[in-house]
Amino acid sequence: MPWTKPMPAKPVVAVAGATGAVGREMLLVLEQRAFPAAQVKALASARSAGTTLPFQGGELVVEEMTPKSFEGVDIALFSAGADVSQQLREAVVAAGAVMIDNSSAFRMEDGVPLVVPEVNPAAAFTHQGVIANPNCSTIQMVVALKPLHDLAPIKRVVVSTYQAASGAGAKAMDELYNQTRQFLDDEPLDIENFAHQIAFNCIPHIDVFLDDGSTKEEWKMVVETKKIFGTQAIEVAANCVRVPVLRCHAEMINVEFTAPVSVEQARSALAAAPGVILMDDPATKTYPMPGLLAGSNDTYVGRLHADPSVEHGLTFWCVADQIRKGAALNAVQIAELLLP
């Protein structure tokens, strides 16, 4: 059934998984964007209960997350993992809260909109209590593709990602720090969060391998792009690589259109697009780089030029902070859409 409960002008917001990297970033984004919450609750596992998190110049005491935690909550921002989201979905929706979920639990479920506010904001209003945040690598790609798709329908996308360690969580970031020190000190490397060493290395393996030889991360980019744009006509080929960068995913994207799109048209469309910053001047060696854009909200595009290998092709480089736009910021932007 369509969701009929009205959203108050000042909703009560719960951040589920508040002590994790994305949960902490959600709190920061709520504060920085002055989200008009009547109250913000920080929820996490029992072992984190009683700890405090900074918020609006003060502190939030972390509460143990249980099914009863969502009574009186209007919006629940979830970044606690797919298993937890699945376990608590019924309790959240029964309490009358809208779950905005950052995990992969519900992204491809019929009836659950998969929303990027710069791309398909209207989809948010079709929810039945749950709205899904897309995969981080998908989000930044579709933000950059949307103004180009508006110029001419996209036929095919080939994307190679260069994904930061933080995409695997706070412990993965720590592992990159620790392995870098161990490598430089000529010590044995502790490998726990990745299949191989991440320091001074690239790993062409994110998530599990599928029967066709691709990975689940690559599959997500294919199916999520089609769902967000509302069409099966866009073909997507993705190759995802983990690189020794702390924050910000980078992507090299080749786009084939169904009709001609000039570099000049694309440049103008990207420069005017919401959430996109064109950082593209080869003469001054200006292009986006992940090491310099941590903590930023926008999706940055550079290295825009023609792809002569196809009839109507362009290629460009795309960088975004995947903890911000790829997770926390996108979720808060969805919450902002729901405000009356």
Which residues form the catalytic set? 136, 249
Residue with tokens 């945040």, as numbered in its chain = 133
- The separation between CA 275 and the C-alpha centre of its own chain, rounded to angstroms, equals 13
Whole-number Å distance between alpha carbons of 143 and 258: 19
For residue 128, the Cα-to-chain-centroid distance in whole angstroms is 22
Residue from 105, 135, 113 nearest 228 by CA: 113
Strand blocks (E) in the chain: 12-16, 39-44, 52-55, 58-61, 63-64, 75-78, 98-101, 130-132, 154-163, 235-242, 249-257, 276-278, 299-306, 313-320
Phi-psi region of 109 (alpha: psi -120 to 50; beta: other; left: phi over 0): beta
Q: Is 241 exposed, middle or buried (0-12, 13-18, 19+ CB in 10 A)?
A: middle
Phi, psi dihedral angles at 81 (to 5 degrees): 95, 155
Q: What is the DSSP string of 288-324?
A: --GGG-TT--SEEEEEEEE-TTSTTEEEEEEEE-TTI
| DSSP state at residue 283 | G
Give me the residue label for tokens 């970031």.
173
Are 325 and 143 in contact by the 8 Å Cβ rule? The answer is: yes
Euclidean distance between CA atoms 140 and 322, whole angstroms:
8
Distance, in Å, from the CA atom of 202 to the CA atom of 194, rounded to the nearest integer, reads 11
